[in-house]
Amino acid sequence: MICFPNAKINLGLHVTEKRPDGYHNIETVFCPVSLSDALEVIPSEKKGSTFTSTGIPIPGDPESNLVLKALELIRDTQPGIVHLDSNIHLHKVIPIGAGLGGGSSDAAYMLKLLNDLLRLNLSVTNLQDLARKLGSDCAFFIENKPMFAYGRGDQFEPIDLDLSEYKIVVVVPPVHVSTQEAYAMVIPRKPRHSLREIVRMPADRWRGLLSNDFEEPVMVKFPVIREVKEELYNRGAVYAAMSGSGAAVFGLFSRQSTVGKWQFDPSFQVYSF
């Protein structure tokens, strides 16, 4: 069985307060985009599971990959599930550590795939509860539709949002932004503007209103991210912003616009959909 875990972008992101458990409460709007990995699971007759990957190299121990953690979570929480021996292959396309949620999406899609493959009949709520154990934004990818997210980014309210009239361009410069370091650079505060109200406006009115609290401190440390955002506006984006804690920057363009040839170094990753 094969599935295609997709990326997300953040439309606005406010860090509102530090929680007693050491995490932060946030407010953001998650929006799925069509940039996708490919995840395949084939039941194995041999004891044990294997995990292989191609595409973008995945740093760290393969055994710590969230896809395998999702597999273990199903094994540990579903009574009667004994044999989950599988050959798992992940073809990685979504840039890693860019604020696009690729790892979280892989984990969530693994839960959904196993739910179908093993006919567990877990509800959306059940799957979201499991996904929250794997990461703060994993639960978003269970329903995988635009959501206003709050709490740790794992509580959701549906939001009416349609970006189909826009071409989305995502640019990932060759810098790595540590999420932990990004949070350390932000002073939590209540937002001045309501994200719910702003995203109801036409996207060409978002500039100056729809903000990401991580942008300014992260751009001070990595000026290239600011340069990418400015370049997107220079090329006609109606709105541009950093996604999550970076380093990916996206721009929304009219479908009729001609973005033209990008003058970025080959080390930059550029996606358009």
User: Is 3.40.30.10 the CATH number for 2-158?
Assistant: no
The boundaries of every CATH 3.30.70.890 domain in the chain are 166-272
pLDDT score recorded for residue 49? 83
Q: CA-CA distance, 50 to 68, in Å (whole number)? A: 9
8 given a catalytic annotation: yes
Q: CA-CA distance, 141 to 128, in Å (whole number)? A: 9
Beta bridge partners of 251: 169, 240
Contact 139, 131 (CB under 8 A): yes
**pLDDT classification of 263: cutoffs 50, 70, 90:** low
CA distances from 185 to 174, 180, 194, 217 (A): 21, 9, 23, 6
The boundaries of every CATH 3.30.230.10 domain in the chain are 2-158
Q: Identify the active-site residue in 37, 92, 112, 137.
A: 137
pLDDT at residue 246 greater than cutoff 80: yes
46 given a catalytic annotation: no
pLDDT at residue 81 greater than cutoff 80: no
Q: Identify the active-site residue in 8, 92, 112, 229.
A: 8
Residue 227 makes CB contacts below 8 A (sequence gap 6+) with: none
pLDDT at residue 260 greater than cutoff 90: no
Contact 108, 141 (CB under 8 A): yes
Looking at domain 166-272, its CATH superfamily turns out to be: GHMP kinase, C-terminal domain (3.30.70.890)
**pLDDT classification of 262: cutoffs 50, 70, 90:** low
pLDDT score recorded for residue 257? 77
pLDDT score recorded for residue 261? 56
Whole-prediction pTM value? 0.94
pLDDT at residue 265 greater than cutoff 90: no
Residue 180 makes CB contacts below 8 A (sequence gap 6+) with: none
pLDDT score recorded for residue 258? 72
**pLDDT classification of 44: cutoffs 50, 70, 90:** confident
- Ordered DSSP codes for 99-167: SS-HHHHHHHHHHHHHHHHTT----HHHHHHHHHTT-TTTTHHHH-S-EEEETTTTEEEE-----TTEE
Read off the pLDDT of residues 129-159 as tens digits, 9 standing for 90 and up. Answer: 999 999 989 999 999 999 999 999 999 999 9
pLDDT at residue 117 greater than cutoff 70: yes
**pLDDT classification of 165: cutoffs 50, 70, 90:** very high
Read off the pLDDT of residues 194-222 as tens digits, 9 standing for 90 and up. Answer: 999 999 999 999 999 999 999 999 999 99
| φ, ψ of residue 164 in degrees (nearest 5) | -65, -20
| φ, ψ of residue 242 in degrees (nearest 5) | -80, 145
pLDDT at residue 84 greater than cutoff 80: no
Mean pLDDT value across residues 250-269? 80
3-state secondary structure of 16: strand
